[in-house]
């Protein structure tokens, strides 16, 4: 018998959800503990839930969905993952239609999802197109074997920046005692984060400082790869943060963000931040960095020149309801 059940956040459910996700993932591995943790620290002022599709007692699919923050409060972000042995239109529709009912509670008028341009997602892509979703953003995805990066080549650049008074620090290891460290870091990330390209119809929003700190402390405890901050005359002018998930993929880092204040761009600071991060990660035994950027973002030039190689693109689809 096919049935949709509500999510109760049990350990068994977290394990089963990772099992389903890992049947779909094409280049990442999910670990139930990381999902459980992210569930526990979620912003509880927003609606976030899961619908679980069972065939008798076996989980065969899941719909993850969450409400956007502030100006995006009527937008729903979702991910639909189905065991490839059961990925039929009827099951996709069951989960999708149930989600449409659930999100009426916050009067949602826009829904968005991301998939990869990889065969594992072809059926969901077909479903999205049938349901009149539009492709609203294409993102280049990259992987880099950081043992092959020519770090020496970039030392003159770093020396020049240091000569100009710019210093690079590891946030967790070296900056905790800096005055108002996290306030300054949050503000920096918010300023350059507004320049990250996002689909039309979605707004950049700023989370509360309290929620920012919750995520940051969790990051430092559970998934810290490295976070490098560029500082000039006490002003935080650029940063990058990368996550490593030791329980699933200890040798791989994921770029979370990178940016430089407008008035300091085109001086090589982003390049230097990447090199500093690579040095730290190599010391920790990391071998690969994954990253992505919107297809026209100049960041891709930096990635290519460092030796990042393209892997399947990610695709953002949106539909108004
Ligand atoms: C993208 C960004 C991080 C680049 O920072 P930066 O410190 O200016 O980058 P660099 O000086 O190291 O640039 C190195 C090279 O990248 C290319 N590049 C960087 N910015 C570029 C731009 N706006 N247009 C064209 N090429 C650019 C150039 O080839 C540049 O070398 P050059 O200046 O000698 O021509 C910065 O523009 C930024 O913060 N943007 C907003 C946030 C963002 O989009 N981050 C990336 C998200 S994935």
- Asked whether residue 183 is domain-assigned, the answer is yes
Predicted local confidence at residue 297, as pLDDT: 95
Predicted local confidence at residue 142, as pLDDT: 97
Rounded to the nearest angstrom, the gap between the alpha carbon of residue 132 and the centroid of all alpha carbons in its chain is: 25
Q: Which domain holds residue 27?
A: 2-131
26 and 68 assigned to the same domain: yes
- Asked whether residue 321 is domain-assigned, the answer is no
Residue to mutate (ligand 1; options 198, 299, 314; most atoms within 8 A of CB): 299
117 and 171 assigned to the same domain: no
Predicted local confidence at residue 204, as pLDDT: 98
State the Cα–Cα distance between residues 18 and 29, nearest whole angstrom.
8
Q: What is the 3-state secondary structure (H, E, C) of 5-61?
A: EECCCCHHHHHHHHHHHHHHCCCCCCCHHHHHHHHHCCCCCCCEEEEEEEECCEEEE
**Ligand 1 center to 299 CA (angstroms):** 5
- Asked whether residue 137 is domain-assigned, the answer is no
State the Cα–Cα distance between residues 59 and 13, nearest whole angstrom.
9
Predicted local confidence at residue 32, as pLDDT: 98
- Asked whether residue 263 is domain-assigned, the answer is yes
List the residue whose alpha carbon is closest to atom 48 of ligand 1: 293
117 and 203 assigned to the same domain: no
104 and 165 assigned to the same domain: no
Q: List, chain by chain if needed, residues with CB within 6 Å of any ligand 1 atom.
A: 192, 195-196, 258-260, 265-271, 293, 297-299, 301-302
- Asked whether residue 232 is domain-assigned, the answer is yes
120 and 156 assigned to the same domain: no
170 and 247 assigned to the same domain: yes
Structural domain ending residue among the three candidates 80, 101, 131: 131
**Ligand 1 center to 203 CA (angstroms):** 22
Angle formed at CA 285 by CA 283 and CA 28, multiple of 5 degrees:
135
48 and 190 assigned to the same domain: no
Predicted local confidence at residue 70, as pLDDT: 97
63 and 165 assigned to the same domain: no
Residue to mutate (ligand 1; options 194, 291, 293, 302; most atoms within 8 A of CB): 302
105 and 244 assigned to the same domain: no
124 and 154 assigned to the same domain: no
- Per-position pLDDT tens, the chain of length 321: 999 999 999 999 999 999 999 999 999 999 999 999 999 999 999 999 999 999 999 999 999 999 999 999 999 999 999 999 999 999 999 999 999 999 999 999 999 999 999 999 999 999 999 999 999 999 999 999 999 999 999 999 999 999 999 999 999 999 999 999 999 999 999 999 999 999 999 999 999 999 999 999 999 999 999 999 999 999 999 999 999 999 999 999 999 999 999 999 999 999 999 999 999 999 999 999 999 999 999 999 999 999 999 999 999 999 999
**Ligand 1 center to 298 CA (angstroms):** 5
Residues in the chain: 321
Question: Which CATH number goes with the domain that contains 192?
Answer: 3.40.630.30
The number of domains in the chain is: 2
- Asked whether residue 136 is domain-assigned, the answer is no
112 and 214 assigned to the same domain: no
- Asked whether residue 320 is domain-assigned, the answer is no
Structural domain ending residue among the three candidates 111, 131, 151: 131
289 and 164 assigned to the same domain: yes
- Asked whether residue 264 is domain-assigned, the answer is yes
Predicted local confidence at residue 122, as pLDDT: 98
Structural domain ending residue among the three candidates 131, 160, 185: 131
Predicted local confidence at residue 62, as pLDDT: 98
Predicted local confidence at residue 74, as pLDDT: 98
Predicted local confidence at residue 277, as pLDDT: 98
């Amino acid at each position: 018998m096919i049935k949709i059940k509500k999510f109760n956040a049990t350990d068994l459910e977290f394990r089963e959800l990772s099992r389903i996700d890992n049947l779909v993932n094409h280049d990442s591995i999910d670990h139930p503990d990381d999902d459980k943790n992210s569930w526990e620290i979620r912003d509880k002022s927003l609606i976030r839930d899961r619908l679980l599709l069972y065939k008798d007692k076996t989980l065969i699919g899941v719909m993850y969905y969450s409400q956007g923050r502030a100006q995006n409060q009527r937008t729903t972000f979702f991910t639909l993952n189905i065991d490839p042995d059961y990925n039929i239109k009827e099951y996709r529709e069951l989960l999708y239609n149930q989600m449409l009912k659930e999100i009426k509670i916050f009067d949602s008028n826009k829904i968005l999802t991301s998939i990869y341009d990889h065969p594992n997602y072809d059926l969901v892509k077909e479903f999205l197109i049938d349901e009149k979703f539009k492709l609203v953003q294409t993102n280049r995805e990259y992987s880099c074997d950081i043992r092959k990066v020519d770090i020496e080549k970039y030392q003159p650049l770093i020396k020049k920046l240091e000569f100009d008074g710019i210093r690079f620090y590891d946030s967790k290891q070296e900056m905790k005692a800096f005055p108002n460290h996290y306030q300054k870091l949050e503000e920096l990330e918010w300023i350059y984060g507004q320049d990250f390209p996002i689909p039309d119809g979605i707004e950049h929003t700023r989370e509360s400082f309290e929620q920012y700190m919750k995520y940051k402390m969790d990051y430092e405890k559970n998934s810290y790869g490295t976070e490098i901050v560029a500082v000039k005359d006490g002003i935080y002018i650029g940063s990058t943060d990368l996550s490593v998930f030791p329980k699933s993929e200890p040798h791989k880092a994921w770029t979370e963000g990178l940016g430089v204040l407008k008035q300091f761009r085109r001086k090589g600071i982003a390049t230097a931040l990447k090199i500093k991060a690579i040095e730290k990660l190599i010391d920790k035994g990391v071998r690969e960095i994954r990253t992505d950027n919107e297809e026209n973002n100049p960041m891709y030039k930096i990635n290519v020149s460092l030796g990042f190689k393209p892997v399947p693109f990610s695709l953002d689809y949106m539909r108004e309801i």
